């Protein structure tokens, strides 16, 4: 099947968004400017402003083009589903274009309320995937009904975020497995290991 051709306006938006992603990944949000986006994309500033009324809107839309939705499995195994969930979230957040932009986005979000809202929404969405896995485990009786799901999500994600953003090291599948196994053992959940 042949992909439909993009209209001129769609091609222009794509060029501008691609240039924005590349710039934010290279120099950060603060040092990315509409002038530089125009230069890099070959699109006039006036045209950019017709599509994106501000730099913040442009950056937010550029970030959205890089976001992917991780697949969350329902294998019947809490351990396997958590490993799958956190592996997918790690790939979606820290690899590829979004991964290159993440530190700069976090820094800029401290000063820019609009970017802060975007980052919080992105984080909340990812937490919902893990929350869904844990809620399913509670419903199945694999976790106690009174377990603090929000705390468990924090305990599971904390070491991964620390490894990537503080230690600046890759989050490996081995680390994800070790974190999941340690947290589950810490709350007394016995899981069979394949």
Dump pLDDT digits (tens) for 101-143: 777 888 888 888 888 887 788 788 888 989 999 999 999 999 9
Q: Which CATH number fits domain 68-186: 3.40.190.10, 1.10.357.10, 3.40.50.300, 3.60.21.10?
A: 1.10.357.10
- Ramachandran assignment for 126, one of left (phi > 0), alpha (psi -120 to 50 degrees), beta (any other): alpha
Q: How far is CA 73 from the centre of its chain?
A: 18
State residue 118's pLDDT score: 79
Assigned CATH topology for domain 8-65: Arc Repressor Mutant, subunit A (1.10.10)
Q: What is the mean pLDDT of residues 147-175?
A: 92
**CA 12/CA 122 separation, integer angstroms:** 26
Task: Taking residues 42-59, report their average pLDDT.
Answer: 92
pTM: 0.74
Question: How many helices (H) and strands (E) in the chain?
Answer: 9, 0
Express as a percent the part of the chain with pLDDT over 70.
Answer: 92
């Amino acid at each position: 099947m042949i992909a439909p051709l993009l209209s001129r306006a769609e091609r222009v938006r794509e060029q501008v968004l691609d240039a924005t992603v590349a710039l934010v990944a290279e120099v950060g949000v603060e040092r990315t400017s509409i002038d530089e986006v125009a230069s890099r994309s070959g699109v006039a500033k006036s045209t950019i402003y017709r599509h994106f009324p501000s730099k913040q809107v442009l950056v937010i839309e550029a970030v959205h083009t890089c976001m992917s939705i991780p697949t969350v499995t329902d294998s019947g195994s809490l351990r396997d589903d958590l490993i799958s969930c956190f592996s997918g979230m790690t790939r979606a957040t820290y690899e590829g274009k979004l991964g290159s932009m993440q530190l700069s986005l976090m820094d800029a979000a401290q000063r820019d309320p609009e970017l802060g809202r975007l980052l919080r929404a992105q984080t909340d969405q990812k937490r919902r995937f893990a929350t869904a896995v844990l809620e399913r485990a509670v419903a199945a009786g694999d976790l106690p009904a009174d377990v603090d799901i929000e705390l468990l999500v924090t305990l599971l994600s904390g070491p991964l975020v620390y490894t990537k953003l503080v230690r600046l090291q890759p989050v490996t599948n081995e680390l994800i497995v070790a974190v999941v196994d340690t947290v589950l053992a810490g709350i007394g959940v016995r899981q069979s290991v394949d």
